[in-house]
């Protein structure tokens, strides 16, 4: 069994896993990191959205081999210790979550957007593909704008 | 539950397809595979991770027999539904008629969190962990399925993702119990997204025929006849066992009878309703707002068409015919807050609808940009609700926001096709539930002050939102929306 090392939420980890194993299942079933959710397995619902070297990615369609020697950040690693990321704080301030299942992915997608585009337009926010079956989209939009305003 | 291993199912391509034979030699020899067992509905693989389980599932060589609906596709289902709609009867003598026929496709619940269940079934007792809207019924059914007395079955109700009616049924819990029993080990079952979309459950498809009879500028009779697909149960399959038949309101009336929600919102003279059904072996279930999501949506479209026929403004017409002051008040609220009647460019329009149920009422005003009718965008939604005392106003606002998205999705773009007894869609790539780019750029919810006893609010907004989206689309495009979703 091949072995892969990467940095997960700031800490080095090494796993023995098949090279084609999606990193979602490495995170969830081997490392017990369950923030990234399974919602489709084909990269379209984006409930698993996390960051790879600081950019948004979907762990359900990226093999663990492609994460070797790179930095993976999940929702568990977004805050700076006890200090929430501005997007997480905006999410709480705007009561965004309903059932909450898609929200780790939504927050990670929003954080990645703001990193690239600190003052996103409505059209740029529209490009977020993450599905929310509870329909929290309006509050997601508000929270992203609030986080953008708070820097 | 320590030791419960990831488990997935291989399922037939068609609804209700049956296993003929399985060659599991390759799958069993794969690394990380703990068990392969046959259960009702397919073949289960228990493995070290979900990756190993999916890989082994895909290595199974299975021959399936087609399900009972293999000769049936959408067109045939639509004609059977149309034929099952009872006759409207004769209109009052001397009246003029505004009539419409409406069709709604099947809709998946598609909960973000797929169905899951952890089961540990032993010789003399069983424990199951899953999220459920009906745990008491589930316990009885699980006990019966695994052959244990009810007292020996312990059900743990877990917190679960929103499922909009899907977890009234406990198919996955029964399935997990049967797999655990057959594999003789604790299992952690997860349905894949394709399992969820292709094998249900779904909101039943329906057909509606509505007639408003008017004379001297007033509606003097209003009749709504409809038919929907209802679930037939053949034998003691998993579908029958996992269904919430006892103790829970069924998704649809199974035979002709009075409609459940001919609420008499309006002073429309003689109001009547009648329903029929087409029984098919399909996995169905109540979907947020149940029958009102289709019936009241269609009725609100007819109300707009009556107003247009009489040369009246949709809000002014409703205001003169609504019975209940509280409904008039929420309507006035959205008209005022949403700046009803403001001038919009060509291809854009406002639409409105109201609904009353669960001791509550709601109005919804929508602005739509349908410049490209194939790719419309709801740009603004204003809702007002009177639910009595609003215990959690932010939560209520969130519920209304969610129902607005349900209305946009079901009216404009999200549905399931049936092709030769199988569901065509298999993920959010083709089941087009709304995303951020379909959601309104502006959303407002107004909660009417009240000290009345609290009413219901979780499902309340769906028919008003769906009706308002349809009415706005009609006004923007000059069309008469009849078949939903409109872009399908």
Mean pLDDT per 10-residue interval, chain B, length 488 residues: 94 97 98 97 98 98 97 98 95 97 98 98 97 96 97 97 96 97 98 97 97 95 95 59 42 41 78 93 95 95 97 97 95 98 98 95 98 98 98 97 98 98 98 98 98 95 98 98 98
Q: CA of B239, closest CA in chain A: separation in Å?
A: 23
Segment holding B206, helix H or strand E: strand B206-215
* Calpha distance B241→A145 (Å, rounded): 48
Identify how many contiguous H helices and E strands chain B contains and give both numbers: 12, 22
pLDDT of B120: 98
A→B interface, C-beta within 8 Å: 18, 21-22, 25, 28-30, 37-42, 44-45, 47, 95, 98-102, 122, 125-141
Q: Cα dist. B301→B362, B407, B464, B482 in Å? A: 16, 13, 10, 9
**A60 to chain B: closest CA residue:** B51
Question: Parallel, antiparallel, or unpaired for β A55-57 and A50-52?
Answer: antiparallel
Q: Identify whether the C-beta of residue B190 lies closer than 8 Å to the C-beta of residue B118.
A: no
Contact A38 B190 (CB under 8 A): yes
Interface probe for B, chosen from A133, A142, A143 (most Cβ of B below 10 Å), is A133
Q: How far is CA B387 from the centre of its chain?
A: 22
Give backbone dihedrals phi and psi of B365, rounded to 5 degrees, phi first: -120, 130
SS3 content of chain B, % helix, strand, coil (to 5): 30, 30, 40
- What's the N-to-C CA distance of chain B in angstroms? 43
Q: Kindly report the number of other CB atoms within 10 A of residue B468's CB atom.
A: 37
Which ipTM did the prediction report?
Answer: 0.97
pLDDT of A150: 86
**A140 to chain B: closest CA residue:** B436
pLDDT of A1: 87
Q: Cα dist. B11→A56, B19, B40, B73, B427 in Å? A: 33, 9, 10, 20, 15
Question: Parallel, antiparallel, or unpaired for β B33-39 and B42-47?
Answer: antiparallel
Q: CA of B394, closest CA in chain A: separation in Å?
A: 8
pLDDT of A56: 98
Q: Is B147 exposed, middle or buried, given 0-12, 13-18 or 19+ CB atoms closer than 10 A?
A: exposed
Give backbone dihedrals phi and psi of B460, rounded to 5 degrees, phi first: -50, -40
pLDDT of B242: 53
pLDDT of B234: 57
pLDDT of B255: 40
* Calpha distance B315→B363 (Å, rounded): 11
Q: Identify whether the C-beta of residue B421 lies closer than 8 Å to the C-beta of residue B71.
A: yes
- Write out residues in chain A with pLDDT < 70, as ranges: none
Please state the pTM of the whole predicted model.
0.95
Radius of gyration of chain B (CA): 24
* Calpha distance B105→B81 (Å, rounded): 11
* Calpha distance B288→B458 (Å, rounded): 8
Flag whether residue B58 sits within 8 Å of chain A, measured between CB atoms: no
pLDDT of B262: 53
Q: Identify whether the C-beta of residue B438 lies closer than 8 Å to the C-beta of residue B377.
A: yes
Q: Which residues contact B138 (CB under 8 A, 6 or more apart)?
A: B128, B130, B132, B155, B170, B173, B174
> SS3 string of B273-324?
EEEEEEEECCCECCCCCCCHHHHHHHHHHHHHHHHHHCCCCHHHHHHHHECC
Contact B436 A42 (CB under 8 A): no
* Calpha distance B363→B369 (Å, rounded): 20
Q: Return the number of CB contacts < 8 Å for A and B.
A: 118
């Amino acid at each position: 069994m091949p072995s892969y090392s990467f940095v997960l939420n700031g800490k080095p980890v090494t796993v023995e896993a098949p090279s084609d194993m999606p990193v979602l299942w490495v995170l969830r079933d081997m490392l017990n990191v369950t923030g990234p959710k399974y919602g489709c397995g084909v990269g379209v619902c984006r409930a698993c959205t996390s960051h790879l070297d600081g950019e948004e990615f979907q762990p359900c369609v990226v093999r663990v081999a492609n994460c070797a020697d790179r930095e993976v950040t999940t929702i568990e690693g977004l805050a700076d210790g006890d200090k929430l990321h501005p997007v997480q704080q905006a999410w709480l301030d705007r009561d965004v979550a309903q059932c909450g299942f898609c929200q780790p992915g939504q927050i990670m997608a929003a954080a990645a957007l703001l990193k690239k585009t600190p003052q996103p337009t409505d059209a740029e926010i529209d490009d977020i593909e993450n599905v929310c079956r509870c329909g929290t989209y309006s509050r997601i939009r508000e929270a992203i704008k609030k986080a953008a305003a708070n820097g | 539950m320590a030791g419960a291993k990831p488990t997935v199912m291989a399922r037939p391509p068609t609804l209700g397809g049956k296993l003929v034979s399985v060659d599991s030699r390759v799958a069993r020899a794969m690394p990380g595979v703990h068990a392969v067992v046959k259960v009702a509905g397919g073949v289960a693989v228990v493995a070290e991770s979900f990756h190993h389980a999916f890989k082994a599932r895909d290595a199974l060589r299975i021959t399936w027999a087609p399900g009972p609906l293999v000769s049936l596709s959408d067109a045939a289902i639509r004609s059977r539904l149309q034929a099952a709609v009872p006759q409207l009867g004769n209109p009052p003598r001397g009246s003029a008629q505004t009539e419409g026929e409406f069709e709604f496709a099947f809709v998946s619940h598609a909960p973000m969190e797929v169905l899951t269940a952890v089961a540990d079934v032993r010789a003399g007792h069983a424990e199951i962990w899953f999220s459920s809207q009906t745990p008491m019924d589930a316990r009885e059914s699980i006990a019966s399925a695994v052959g244990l007395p009810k007292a020996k079955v312990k059900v743990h109700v877990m917190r679960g993702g929103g499922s909009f009616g899907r977890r009234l049924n406990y198919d996955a819990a029964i399935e997990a119990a049967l797999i655990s029993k057959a594999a003789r080990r604790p299992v952690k079952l997860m349905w894949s997204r394709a399992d969820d979309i292709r094998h249900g459950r779904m909101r039943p498809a329906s057909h509606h025929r509505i007639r408003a009879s008017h004379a001297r500028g007033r509606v003097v009779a209003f009749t709504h006849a409809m038919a929907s697909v209802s679930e037939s149960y053949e034998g003691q399959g998993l579908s029958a066992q996992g269904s919430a038949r006892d103790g829970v309101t069924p998704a649809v009336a199974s035979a002709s009878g009075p409609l459940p929600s001919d609420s008499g919102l309006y002073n429309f003279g003689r109001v009547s309703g009648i329903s029929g059904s087409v029984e098919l072996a399909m996995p169905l279930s109540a979907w947020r707002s149940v029958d009102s999501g289709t019936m009241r949506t269609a009725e609100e479209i007819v109300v707009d068409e009556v107003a247009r026929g009489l040369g009246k403004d949709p809000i002014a017409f409703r205001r003169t015919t609504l019975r209940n002051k509280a409904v008039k008040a929420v309507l006035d609220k959205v008209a005022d807050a949403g700046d009803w009647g403001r001038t919009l460019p060509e291809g854009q329009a406002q639409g409105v609808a109201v609904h009353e149920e669960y001791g509550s009422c709601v109005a919804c005003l929508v602005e739509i940009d349908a410049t490209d009718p194939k790719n419309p965008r709801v740009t603004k939604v204003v809702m007002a609700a009177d639910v009595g005392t609003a215990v959690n106003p932010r939560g209520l606002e969130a519920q209304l926001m969610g129902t607005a998205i349900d209305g946009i999705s079901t009216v404009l773009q999200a549905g399931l096709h049936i092709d030769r007894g199988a569901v065509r869609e298999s993920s959010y790539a083709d089941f087009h539930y709304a995303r951020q780019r379909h959601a309104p750029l502006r959303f407002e919810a107004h909660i009417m002050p009240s000290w009345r006893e609290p009413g219901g609010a979780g499902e309340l907004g769906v028919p008003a939102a769906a009706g308002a989206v349809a009415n706005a689309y009609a006004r923007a495009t000059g069309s008469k929306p009849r078949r939903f979703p409109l872009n399908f």
